[in-house]
Amino acid sequence: MKDAHGRHVTGRVSWRKFAVLSVPAFAGTAALAIALANGALAASFAVSGQQFKVSAASLNGEGFAQYGGVDQNARGDLLPVAVTAIKKADLHKLCQSVVTTLPVIGDISLNLTAGGGKTPVKATDLFVDATQLSGNADFNNIEIGRDASTLDKGPATAQGMQDLFAQQADDINITDLKQTAWATNAATFRLSGLSMKISKGKKECF
């Protein structure tokens, strides 16, 4: 490289410019590390690379809380989610499906159903890390816009990061529930009338 006078000069780094460019990246990494340490990480396990679908004719829950979080897969990718947490939940006509595409074979669907009879699926301390949720919902004594770190109506560990938006209610009732999620976990999960099927092709709950 030549200067304005035509002389050869060696490449040099402007440490002031380097510092200016590095600080935002470092700050972002540090902020993420602090966020994860303070409870932004939702699921306590590495999630798979596939989302799954869950539907139910109805969900009746006691102790509802909802807040933002982050899931992480085995590759270290961070996945934003809306965490729905319920102390006690009854689900009627539960369906869960996931589709895997395999070489040569093509699409393979795994479908799980339960709670189709008089006895519903029952769960305690239920957490769902969802990216989409729809249905018809009724809440009892709902609080919208509460600080996520102060939630106290859902499961004991159902709290998010300080200053972030959250909502909670004494009770929740949803009909025609449809959601897409990265993860679900519960203290107990009792599936009456459980049926699981694997079939070729794309067969999803909705």
- Give, for all 206 residues of the chain, the pLDDT tens digit: 555 555 554 444 444 444 444 444 444 445 555 555 555 678 889 999 999 999 999 999 999 999 999 999 999 999 999 999 999 999 999 999 999 999 999 999 999 999 999 999 999 999 999 999 999 999 999 999 999 999 999 999 999 999 999 999 999 999 999 999 999 999 999 999 999 999 999 999 99
CA 39 to chain centre: 13
Helices (H), the chain: 15-35
At residue 55, φ and ψ (nearest 5 deg) are -135, 160
C-alpha torsion angle, residues 168, 170, 176, 182 (rounded to 10): 40
pLDDT at site 43: 85
| Residues 47, 124: Cα–Cα separation, whole Å | 21
Whether this prediction's pTM lies above 0.85 is answered by no
Residue 6 host element (H or E): none
* 204 CB-contact burial (10 Å; exposed 0-12 / middle 13-18 / buried 19+): middle
Closest Cα partner for 86 from 181, 180, 156, 190? 156
List, in order, residues 6 or more apart from 30 with CB less than 8 Å away. none
Residue corresponding to tokens 């004719």:
57
| Residues 93, 117: Cα–Cα separation, whole Å | 8
pLDDT at site 40: 63
Q: Are 91 and 113 in contact (CB under 8 A)?
A: no
pLDDT at site 9: 47
Helices (H), 117-180: none
Tell me how crowded residue 131 is: count the other CB atoms within 10 A of its CB.
Answer: 14
| Residues 99, 198: Cα–Cα separation, whole Å | 10
Written as one letter, the residue type at 173 is: N
| Residues 11, 16: Cα–Cα separation, whole Å | 15
